[in-house]
Amino acid sequence: MPYYKCKRCGRIHESAKEQWQLVGATCTNCFQKDPWVLYEGPVAVAILAEEDKQHFILTNKYLALKQAKENSDRAYEDLRAKVKKQTSYTKPELAKMLNEIQLCHDVSASVHAQIKEVADELDLLGNREAVKKDAVVAHKAAASQGELFVGNRQYVSQFKSKHSGKILDVPNWSWGLNCAWVEGGISAKAHFTVKFTEDDPYTQIPKEVQKALNNQPKMSAEEFLELCEKSGKGSLLWYDKDGSNRPTWTALEMATLLRAGYRFTFNDVITLTPPM
């Protein structure tokens, strides 16, 4: 998706809308009306800041859900104590008691599922202070290289021992940190080599996608991600497992490079090369 920048406060905002669709929109940071201009510069700092906000919101949501779970569990225990105390019930009393027990169970199960979902989202954002420190380290490391490796994270990690400087190698991770690493390479005009193996389709760019990129060498980042969704499922480019349906982090790395003017070259090695 394209990025826009507020002319007044400098806030960088990602939006699926075209620029003409933002006419009249207000910046939620400085409340300036109609301030948005298309932005094509570095975005990692803005992504990290947005992740901080999301982490704050999710943390409060997680704490609220934990409290709701405790309240539900307490209500359930009170019901159990009530059942033990009273040995006989009329039919209406028994029906009411069973309904209350079922309600406690349903609430507890629902809240438990929500807690897990929020915990997973928080896990993706990581320890925020550590992530931001590692983002600086990753950017600096990538900026010192002329070639970097991208691809399936598990597969690319196999090259760590011989080419540690060419891969993202820090203890923490978030997409903002990952983007900082890519932008470090962009600042050095590094070439990004796509590492893959013919034995695993999840490391590969499908031939159909390669053909489309060859036919349209100046494909935009947005067009590339649409192509990934259409023709990249079951490959390096699109993640559609475990209920997810989204670009892979590698596809987002490639989109970041395309936004910076990089282009694919397909020979014996697949490379994203910087603009001249």
CA pseudo-torsion sign 35, 39, 41, 43: positive
State pLDDT tens for residues 131-166.
999 999 999 999 999 999 999 999 999 988 787 789
> 20-24, 102-106, 249-253: which range is least confident on average?
20-24
Question: Is residue 38's pLDDT more than 80?
Answer: yes
Neighbours of 270 (CB within 10 A): 19
Both structure tokens of 274: 């910087």
**Sign of the C-alpha dihedral, residues 252, 39, 125, 188?**
positive
Q: Are 151 and 19 in contact (CB under 8 A)?
A: no
Span 177-194, pLDDT tens digits = 999 999 999 999 999 999
Q: Which residues pair with 4 in a beta bridge?
A: 13, 38
Q: What is the CA radius of gyration of the chain?
A: 25
pLDDT of residue 105: 85
Do 261 and 275 meet the contact criterion of CB atoms below 8 Å apart? yes
Q: How far is Cα 271 from Cα 267, in angstroms, rounded to an integer?
A: 8
